[in-house]
């Protein structure tokens, strides 16, 4: 079972970051749902995320970073994509962008593009400022409900994680997933209407 720690505690964030650097899994709060974090450049750690979630290896996982600028170390962005990121991030949006070579294929299911998340949440950002990039996928077994509090954590995730940061209740609505280059919203969540309006203005 994961060690439950108060997410508001600086030592707890340090402990969670150390666990990720060590190749372990961490459950962390965001403004949408709880996330399952691992070193997004470590293929073995990424594999552990897939295993814990029971997720198909062809179903890509996003990565989380503390800022748009930090994201540029791992992805390439056109002027339009960068303008979108500057407008909507940090926020409950996952932006699909062309990955750089250092991002492992196991994270993206072999695809050339990867989802990028810069959450609008102090705990998640505090964690990502200590260690990044971190996997940004929901902390639930695939096919089950997303987790909005640690009380709802699936036993399989609880057993697989080293640390679980308790940040209280989250909103329960997933992020909006958008491919700006294609002008496509893959999943509607928070602020989807604003994203759609932005894309239509620039179509």
pLDDT in tens, the chain (203 residues): 999 999 989 999 999 999 999 999 999 999 999 999 999 999 999 999 999 999 999 999 999 999 999 999 999 999 999 999 999 999 999 999 999 999 999 999 999 999 999 999 999 999 999 999 999 999 999 999 999 999 999 999 999 999 999 999 999 999 999 999 999 999 999 899 999 999 999 98
pLDDT at position 203: 82
Write b or e for each residue in 111-140: b if 16 or more Cβ atoms lie within 10 A of its Cβ, otherwise e.
eebbbbbbbbbebbbbbbebbbbbbbbbbb
This prediction's pTM: 0.97
pLDDT at position 193: 97
Query: Residues near 65 by Cβ (< 8 Å), separated by ≥ 6?
Result: 71, 73, 74, 116, 117, 118, 128, 132, 133, 134
Domains of the chain: 3-201 (3.90.870.10)
What is the rounded distance in angstroms from the CA atom of residue 11 to the CA atom of residue 45?
Answer: 23
Q: Is the dihedral of CA 71, 137, 184, 187 positive or negative?
A: negative
pLDDT at position 195: 98
pLDDT at position 84: 98
């Amino acid at each position: 079972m994961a060690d439950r720690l108060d997410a508001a505690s600086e030592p707890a964030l340090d402990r969670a970051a150390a666990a990720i650097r060590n190749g372990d899994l961490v459950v962390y709060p965001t403004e949408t749902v709880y996330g399952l974090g691992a070193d997004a450049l470590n293929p073995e750690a990424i594999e552990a995320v897939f295993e814990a979630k029971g997720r198909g290896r062809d179903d890509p996982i996003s990565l989380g970073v503390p800022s748009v600028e930090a994201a540029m170390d791992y992805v390439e962005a056109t002027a339009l994509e960068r303008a979108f990121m500057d407008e909507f991030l940090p926020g409950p949006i996952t932006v699909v962008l062309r990955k750089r070579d250092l991002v492992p294929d196991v994270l993206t299911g072999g695809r050339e593009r990867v989802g990028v998340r810069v959450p609008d949440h102090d705990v998640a950002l505090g964690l990502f400022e200590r260690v990044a990039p971190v996997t940004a996928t929901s902390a639930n077994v695939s096919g089950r409900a997303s987790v909005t509090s640690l009380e709802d954590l699936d036993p399989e995730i609880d057993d697989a994680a080293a640390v679980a940061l308790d940040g209280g209740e989250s909103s329960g609505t997933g992020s909006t997933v958008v491919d700006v280059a294609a002008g496509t919203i893959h999943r509607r969540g928070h602020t989807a209407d604003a994203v759609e309006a932005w894309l239509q203005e620039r179509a």
